[in-house]
A and B are shown apart, each in its own frame.
Chain A
Amino acid sequence: MTAAPPPGPARKRSPWRAGQGFWTVAVGVPAIFSVMRLWIEAGGELQTTLLLVANVGPVNLLAALFTTATRLVTMGLVTVFALGAVLSVSTAGTPRRPPLFARWFTLAPFWFLASVFGIALATWQIIYLPMLAVAAVAVFQRELAALDWSLPRRAATVAVLLVGYGWLVAPTVAEAWRTGELFALGMLVVPPVLALGVTGPLPGPLVRPLAALAQPGIAIVLVAAAVPVVMTPVLPMTVTTVSTASGVPEEVRGHVISTDDVSTVILQERGGVRYVDNDDIAARVLCPTDEELVRYRLRVRDVHVEDSLLGALGRRVRPFTPISAACRIPA
């Protein structure tokens, strides 16, 4: 016990450094992401990238990034804080310096954690919400323990929650079993069971290896999950019907970069920028992209499992978006 590090300047600096690292990531990653997305959107062409940079405002870019990257960001934060919570509980009372994620978790105020989980609850696909429940139990385990409920009360609460959850997802689970969608089945059934056991400290010998593996592991998973987000278009997909001299209209499929009094600039889906005279434009329609197609036919109480609660709420306001025939025309 004599080897315990003295509580000196290093302990004062470590929270600061940990907080600095966190905010550097929180601000820097979106900025880097935005530039990467424009680069990819431009098809790797320098001039097209510059054209996009000149026409896509930073506010629009950030709003588009928020719309499409919220899930990734909250997924990263939720994972970090969940692991941080487990590591924090596991290293409590030990003299060694806590692992990085545990320090981040300790630094994060309650309102921030609650906000992250609130945004995740609203924006995650419903099929992944059971995983969010597991993370919530891990992150807020100290608050739950502070309630100091008796064992019968705890057991009754857990039983009510599980029965309610079972009622909610039972038809979906049965359908997933019937159609052989085993991953979806697992995502709905397994997490509630895991939530029962995810609290409490880990065995001592596991803490340091887990902490050592968690940081690169999460980095790899986030990078893998970030690839489709980086490739998600920044601008909406449209099909513009352009009149031609031959009389047969031409459909230009792509993203509208800008419009002025004379022409409309379209970044074509197949590549290249097209300047179209406004007088030649007969029609323009908004089109969905392949990424919006679903993989599952499962619904939880008439809400599609790949929809978010926010999206499902929106669909209650505008239930049906007709797809224009022009969207079916090949690029």
Chain B
Amino acid sequence: MTDTPARPRLRPLLTAVAVTLTMTLAAAAACGPDKDPAPRTVDEVLKQTSVYGKPKIRIGVAEDQPLMGKLVDGRFEGFDIEIARYLAESLGFNGDSRIDFVPLQTEDRENALLSGRVNLVVASYSMTPEREKEIDFVGPYFVTKQELLIRVADRAVVRNLSDLAQPGRETCVVGGSTGEREFTGRGLKVYPAATNRECLERLLAGKSNAFSTDETILAGYLSEHPKDLHVVDVPIGANERLGVGVSKQDPALRDLVAFFLRKSFDTGQKTDTSPWLAAYRRTLGPWLGEDVMQPPIDAPDLVDYDEKAPKG
């Protein structure tokens, strides 16, 4: 690293070049904080959302779906509610005093988003191409399948969809839901109810022979009437992906929700504990068994304050 006798003249020149380049590099490092384009941060995107600076965030939820979204003694409970609380807290709305839970009927969900009545919808909302024309979805945060709920007394009578095709038998579904389209498409007689609760009451009263919707919702009603009801595991349509509904007018909010869902997914993958897993194990887990979160699609790569934390 010192002069070699063979090239005594070249060595000072080499030193001069090295010193000059080092000083240039050092000056650039000391003076120029904006060398490379900075990545988008969570705070930057949050400032672009419609909820930034608002005292409360309005989240559309179901109020009649046990285990998913239900109002119990003035407080909302369920898997969707837990997800909604996680998202609200991530967006800066800590505690129920900063969340307006807006009960929504199944058929009102798109309108509530389009009219700006709610900022988000977390209500067993199936991601369908038709709905995606009107609103944005973030997710899926859960993949569910459609099943049948019947009375225990009918276990021998209603074993599959063919049994429901018998004359005089009807299946109750919520009007406007994806289940309604599945059944009418197969030529089965359906009763389009306004709410899931109405379907449950018709089933318990013997007016309908079956009630079909997502397994998550059915698991909730099964948890309420374990001795009277039975779930028939029949293939009805494709798996449904539940997502969080966001207005197309608020792409920043969509990005943030996707980012935080992805963060929960990543945390669960690494540590076997995450907001999603905690919510699932407190609500659906005991009835549906172990499950894993699906990786949300199109989650943006944003920088947050925990970026330096070890990944491994």
Contact = CB atoms under 8 A, between A and B. Distances in A.
A70 B124 CA distance: 53
Interface string B38-64: 110101001100001101000000000
B295 interface: no
Interface in A95-149: 128, 131, 134-135, 137-138, 141, 144-145
A137 B27 CA distance: 19
A186 B307 contact: no
On chain A, which size bracket covers the interface? 35 or more
A195 B22 CA distance: 9
B15 A315 contact: no
Nearest to A125: B29
A54 to B, nearest CB: 32
A225 B28 CA distance: 11
A221 B21 CA distance: 15
Given A198-B15, A224-B31, A131 B22 contact: yes
A184 B37 CA distance: 11
Contacts of B305: 288, 292-293, 321, 323
B227 interface: no
Contacts of A184: 35-36
Contacts of A328: 43, 46, 91-92
A222 B26 CA distance: 11
A41 B311 CA distance: 35
Contacts of A302: 310-312
B29 A145 contact: no
Nearest to B311: A302
B94 A326 contact: yes
B3 interface: yes
B16 A202 contact: yes
A143 B89 CA distance: 57
B209 to A, nearest CB: 47
A304 B3 contact: no
B2 A145 contact: yes
B12 A200 contact: yes
Nearest to A76: B30
A160 interface: no
A180 B13 contact: no
A271 to B, nearest CB: 18
Contacts of B27: 217, 221
Contacts of B310: 302-303, 315-316, 319
B308 A198 contact: no
A299 interface: yes
A69 B46 CA distance: 31
B236 interface: no
Contact of B1 (A141, A181, A183, A224): A141
A319 B36 CA distance: 27
A330 interface: yes
A183 B36 contact: yes
A194 interface: yes
Interface string A201-227: 111101000100000010001101100
Contacts of B22: 82, 131, 134-135, 191, 194, 198
Contacts of A1: none
Nearest to A151: B4
B26 A131 contact: yes
B40 to A, nearest CB: 11
Nearest to B17: A197
B2 A141 contact: yes
Contacts of A198: 15, 18-19, 22
Contact of A182 (B36, B41, B312): B36
By Cβ-Cβ distance, the 9 closest A-B pairs, closest first, are: A328-B92, A183-B35, A325-B94, A197-B18, A304-B308, A203-B12, A288-B305, A198-B18, A181-B36
Interface of A: 75, 79, 82-83, 86, 128, 131, 134-135, 137-138, 141, 144-145, 151, 154, 180-184, 186-187, 190-191, 194-204, 206, 210, 217, 221-222, 224-225, 228, 248-249, 288, 290, 292-297, 299, 302-304, 306-307, 311-312, 315-316, 319-321, 323-330
Given A186-B25, A201-B11, A294-B303, 15 more contacts: A141-B2, A184-B36, A197-B14, A198-B19, A199-B1, A200-B11, A203-B16, A210-B19, A217-B23, A225-B30, A290-B43, A294-B308, A299-B311, A323-B304, A327-B92
25 contacts: A79-B26, A137-B1, A144-B1, A184-B35, A195-B18, A198-B18, A199-B2, A200-B3, A200-B14, A202-B12, A202-B16, A203-B12, A203-B13, A210-B19, A222-B30, A225-B31, A292-B305, A293-B303, A302-B312, A304-B307, A319-B310, A321-B305, A325-B89, A328-B46, A330-B52
